[in-house]
Amino acid sequence: MAKFAFLIEMKAKPGKEAEVEAFLAKEASLVKDEAGTLTWHGSKVEGEPGVYRVFDTFVDEAAGEAHMSGPPGQEFVERADDLFAETKVLRLQVIVHK
């Protein structure tokens, strides 16, 4: 059961949308081997050009921290200034789920 999640909101820099989508595909491949990462979703917001979200869930907060300090999180930090005009990371405590 998921106990912790991140919702990451991102606005691509103009003209960087294709790079952002390639970056998100690579990020998805990096999280496949993380035991504590339960789900990972990269999405594009309909009707809002250049706006993306990542929603990922974890067995607990420690697994979320391991994810952020591991290869996916580090690559996000390294690429953020190049790809995104804005980013916002929300830390979520999961209280119910289906």
Interval 45-84: pLDDT, tens: 999 999 999 999 999 999 999 999 999 999 999 999 999 9
Q: Token pair 């789920």 is at which residue?
A: 97
Q: What is the pLDDT of residue 63?
A: 97
Q: Are 56 and 5 in contact (CB under 8 A)?
A: yes
Q: What is the CATH number of the domain that holds 18?
A: 3.30.70.100
In a domain, 68, yes or no: yes
In a domain, 18, yes or no: yes
Of residues 38, 94, 26, 42, the one with CA closest to residue 67:
38
Of residues 45, 54, 42, 41, the one with CA closest to residue 88:
54
3-state secondary structure 9-52: EEEECCCCHHHHHHHHHHHHHHHCCCCCEEEEEEEECCCCCCEE
Percent of the residues in the chain that have a pLDDT greater than 90, as a whole number: 96
In a domain, 34, yes or no: yes
Count structural domains, the chain: 1
Task: With a cut of 90, say whether residue 98 has pLDDT above it.
Answer: no
